[in-house]
Structure 1
Amino acid sequence: MQFSVLLSVYKKEKPEYLKMSLNSIRFQTLAPDEVILIEDGPLTKELYLVIEEYLKILPNMRVYKFDENQGLGLALRKGMELSKYELVARMDTDDIAEPERFKIQKDFMEKNPHISVCGGLMREFDDRGIISQVKNMPETQKEIWEYAKYRNPINHMTVMFRKADVLKAGNYRDFSFLEDYDLWCRMLAKDYKFYNVQKVLVKARVSDEMYNRRGGIVYCRRYLRLRQMQKEIGLLGFGEYVKACGVTILITLVPNMIRKLVYIKMLRKRNG
């Protein structure tokens, strides 16, 4: 099966990070059949130079430009519509795919045609290049269903999915910082099948800003809207909904330092 890789970049991305991300696609053991890069609004001169360079290095890369910033959900929605192929792999423009990533996932999806969404593990690193914890994920459909009630069950930057199933489920929507979690919940409620490969597929860049984005009143309200949607589509029962809302309020409204500590000490596993 042929497959696409989908990325979205906006003006705040660092050119050197984009270059590292595209290089990790370039040096995969299994090359994608197309790379779709969405320019989500005007970019910096330095980013345009990187894109110009890689249009020559990756001859199968196509660029779609939005005149104004749309947000990740709508950018990925357009990217899914533009994809030529049934299998689509997601990448973030500041992360690095392990060399075997695409081969592992493509082989799995070909052998398991009933699976719509395939994710994997990610190993986190900081801006200094120091590698730290692995974000482990539930493996089977049953485990993913239970996990999804309270936490995002798929590492977004590791996912490969079937285009037709994503589109049938309603595709990505404008749901800032929760675009992927929103999509997974809707797909699970429609009984699409999920699986997480128990291998590290991506090295994901983290910073203090990531923890800051996951807190505050605005983020809390947005997350509670997702909890309400989960209840409406049958992913959460009433008691589970109350519990999920309580956990959400607690984790989003504590000070940033405490939230970071919770993520590192309780929600991650340190591996060698």
Structure 2
Amino acid sequence: MPAPPAISVLLPVRDAQGTLQEALDSLRAQRFEDFEVLVFDDGSRDGTFAVATAAAASDSRIRVLRGPGHGLVPALCSLLAEARAPLVARMDGDDRCHPERLLRQKAALDEDPSLAGVGAQVELFRDDRPVSPNLLAYAAWLNTLTTPEALFHDRFVESPLCHPSVLLRRDAVLAAGGYRDGPFAEDWELWLRLLSSGYRLRCVAPVLFSWRDHERRLTRTDARYSAKAHVALKARYLAPLLSGREFTLWGAGQSGLALKRALATHGVSPVRFIDVHPRKVGTRLEGIPVLGPEDVGPPRGHLVAAVGAKGARAEIRAHLAALGWREGEHFTCAG
């Protein structure tokens, strides 16, 4: 039996006849060549399976599995169980890799054994029209998380890694419980679970991944990736950090109120809001007093910042740092 490869690429796919070949070609063009590609055709109704099997016939590194269409998480669990390598890379059937993606990501993990995984800096593209400004802003933010500390501090802002761009240590993923199915984004939930267990993650520069945007992406069509589901997931992992502690919630707007209500389902409530809106300061919101930034003072308890306005997070960080608050110890950003 041949020795296991260094990397197993997990590629779940459904109805990607028009893009799968391009994705596979980008993998076959990798400068690092010691890998296998596991394609899981999850109930495709087009010619996806034929594309995959033809690719496998011409490249022994490609193996094709087939499932009944039970969804992404069951497909990922099957792929993870089938993987033979100690490192597992993710890939989707409509994206493209830079030729040095696997080479550079493996080097990053080899250089830092404390890392459970790395993502890659990304570029976005569409075939039909320009990518939306909001998605471009998200990608720009992802690309700043190049240290474990930066990613850890921003883990509750949004999902801090592009899932199809990651390379993970298989044993760390399995030790943390693998992929889980539920009313949440399976990737962000895994990142939060790894980080809460003490593992470290970061993004690798430069841009090594081309991420396709289109209207059929699950992030647009599945309730597990909705704003409501994201807030519930944040609250689930924030609540243990706040339980039994006095905490302040900076943000009495839409984002802050949504998080406050989600945290309440875990028995956790702030003792005060902080907000800059002059008509809110000095009032009570859902029974909780609203104070202004000038009332923050030196560190006490913990503070969670949940403000969605552009630039607000940087301003809040600067304000708190000037007062002696240390991120991670005294405050957490969640918006």
Provide the TM-score with structure 1 as the length reference.
0.79
Query: Are residues 1:38 and 2:40 paired?
Result: yes
Greater helix percent: which structure? Answer: 1
The change in CA–CA distance for 1:174 and 1:26 in structure 2 (over 3 A counts) is: same
**Which region of structure 1 is more displaced relative to structure 2, 79-88 or 179-188?**
79-88
Aligned-pair CA distance for 1:101: 0.5
Distance in 1 between residues matched to 2:211 and 2:44, nearest whole Å: 22
- Structure with higher Rg: it is 2
Match of 2:196 among 189, 213, 218: 189
Cross-structure match for 1:54 = 55
1:4–1:32 contact (8 Å) kept in structure 2: no
The change in CA–CA distance for 1:25 and 1:226 in structure 2 (over 3 A counts) is: same
Distance in 2 between residues matched to 1:216 and 1:81, nearest whole Å: 27
Letter in 1 for 2:59: L
Q: Any unmatched runs of 5+ in structure 1? A: 251-264, 267-272
Letter in 2 for 1:172: Y
The change in CA–CA distance for 1:126 and 1:103 in structure 2 (over 3 A counts) is: same
CA RMSD, Structure 1 to Structure 2 (Å)? 3.3
Query: Are residues 1:95 and 2:95 paired?
Result: yes
Distance in 2 between residues matched to 1:130 and 1:95, nearest whole Å: 16
2:223–2:229 contact (8 Å) kept in structure 1: no
Aligned residues: 249
Provide the TM-score with structure 2 as the length reference.
0.65
1:1-272 to 2 correspondences below 5 Å: 2-10=6-14, 13-40=15-42, 42-67=43-68, 69-128=69-128, 133=136, 135=140, 136-175=143-182, 178-210=185-217, 213=220, 219-234=226-241, 239=248, 246=255
Letter in 2 for 1:127: D
**Which region of structure 1 is more displaced relative to structure 2, 72-81 or 15-24?**
72-81
The change in CA–CA distance for 1:152 and 1:57 in structure 2 (over 3 A counts) is: same
The change in CA–CA distance for 1:30 and 1:131 in structure 2 (over 3 A counts) is: farther
The share of aligned pairs that are identical, in percent, is: 28
The change in CA–CA distance for 1:52 and 1:215 in structure 2 (over 3 A counts) is: closer
Q: Deviations over 1:135-179 (max 9, x none)?
A: 323121221111111111111111001000001111111146711
The change in CA–CA distance for 1:209 and 1:176 in structure 2 (over 3 A counts) is: farther
Distance in 2 between residues matched to 1:218 and 1:174, nearest whole Å: 13
Stretches of 4+ moved more than 4 A in 1?
128-134, 208-212, 214-218, 235-245, 247-250
Q: Any unmatched runs of 5+ in structure 2? A: 260-309, 312-335
Q: Deviations over 1:245-264 (max 9, x none)?
A: 826969xxxxxxxxxxxxxx
Secondary structure of the corresponding residue to residue 89 of structure 2: strand
